[in-house]
Structure 1
Amino acid sequence: MDIVIRGLGFNVPSRVLTNAELEIMVETSDEWILTRTGIRERHIIAEGEASSDLAIPAVEHALKEAGFTAKDVTHVVVATFTPDFVCPNCATTLANKMGMNGVMAIDVNAACSGYLNAMQVGRGLVCLVENAVVLVVAVDALTSRTNWEDRTTCVLFGDGAGAAVLTRTTGADDEGLILDMEFRCDGNVGDHLTVIGGGSRHPYRAGDVVGPEYFVQMNGREVFKHAVRNMDAICSKVLSNCGKTLDDVDIFIPHQANLRIIEALGDRMGVPREKVFVNVDRYGNTSAASVAIALAEARQLGRIKRGDLALLTTFGGGLTWGAGLVQF
């Protein structure tokens, strides 16, 4: 069954945190951050703001582009590992704020791979339910899980949201046709990227002091190796599934973790630099929202035109990774 992306949207907080400001907060420098990550600035949520708040403008833009209203939505799938609350889930909270009570609303947690995984769930729902209008949202307020005393990780992350509206195709003129998606995981190496504290194995206890285990911890060198190798392999797989090659791809949108990973992946795959979309310098790593923001922004900037073939790939905690091919 042909499934299309009807509309896209994204949103980032207005508060910008620059490398110069981080120099005051932690032992680092603009040169060190820029050289190792390619990040110049990132957007962070305001006091009292949460993931569902970030998502609303992205959802409104995606619905408007799709020609739908909140009342048309039948399912809400939110990719996040920083929901407003442990319970209720972020999808239910967002649905309530958007006036969508009564729909199916679920969260998907695949860390930075969340957006494409949520899209795959959305595709399944569209196949199962006639006339389904599935709202897929990827949002993370990652700075709420950032240890600002850890200079190796605090420079990497930012907050943001992206949204997409999925339906069945209505005809040959549809843009945003999802050709295929592929996904993998490897829990044997899941300890390279973790937030351990707060789960059932390391639960909260009244009176406990919050330690570093409640924030993102990462073995950057190992994550780098796994990310480049596995995103390369899964991109090759999804292209092969569709009878396509890299020569057919007009724009390549990888997870915006850091510039070194993006460049190493592009070089390994043989993708010309001009085909690779990069916005990590302005947003940092926004986790599940990374590819969602990049896809919506690339479309907004005119980097994706009618007839273009877009190759998307993600990599995140779990470890999890995936790729998708979209014909615009």
Structure 2
Amino acid sequence: MRHHFGDLLDREGGYWTVVPNRERYAYRIGDVPAGSPEITIVTIGKGDVNWSRALTLPNLEELTLHEPTPEQLLAVRGLRTVKRLRITHARPRNLDFIGSMDGIEELVLEYVSGFNDLGPLQGLKRLRALHIENLRRVSDFSGLAGVTNLKYLAVYGTTDWKQPIADFEFLRGLPQLEVLAMWEVICRAPYPAFLPALSLGNLKKVRVHGSYFATEEYALLEEGLKGVEGTDWGPYRTVAYSHPELPHDDVRAHLPEEVIRSNHPEVTVRYDGRRTIEDPDSRWIEFTGKAARRFKASSADVEAKCRAQSERYSSMKEEARALISSRQAG
């Protein structure tokens, strides 16, 4: 699956200032003069003849490496002014070159598949936001423990390949984390795999779909992270599988995006700008948890099944409370 160039970064909270993915080509190095003090953002890749001019820009703050060559990856390690770095479609053997770029505050790694050790990122003492997407050789995330100023972490797979995560012990080494986001991921660690997440005293938001982990894990997070946004999965959810685009004569199709977010939660703004809304006839009830059951929302016995699931989920939450209490007492 090739990269979609959609902007998957959560822009709320001020964690990200890097330009949206789809705007990267507007900053291609092209004929930018060597040493130009006006240039602060640039994109380079294997097709750029003048790519080395990026190394001469005294005020360069943001760099995108799009399908970079090995030579380009090694050359940027000396750039100390760069605060925002995005790397897409690359196969470096290791991340040592990033570890020496100690000015980085925001880092995006998309489809970077040649390495398996995240340890070099511990050298980025100013790193506050990290988005990892489709790292084919990474499953051990223990190298992130020690990136002590990290506030935002997103670990993403894709619809055709789930990002493996060996366990969540590394979360204990991220004391400042405020946002934890995961999409299309898989973890085979046994329950209670998410126990380390309960140590995140500064956590404000969790973005995790309700179908990735065992149902007990969600009950544990609900009990252990009360008050954290996004930890209210509950025993089941209603999902629509059809989202038609709003017709042109619908006023919501033309409202500013910020107005849509504030006043029209029923409308979704896609990364390409399309406005869509749920088709009520396509709604299903999905139980929380990996491989959990689902039923058509219009099924005759759906209410009884939902009640039974709610009772099971309540029991799981009760067990989670007991587990948390016993760990705190110990």
TM-score (norm 1): 0.24
CA radius of gyration, larger in: 2
Which structure has greater helix proportion? 1
| Higher relative contact order, structure no. (Cα contacts within 8 Å, ≥ 6 residues apart) | 1
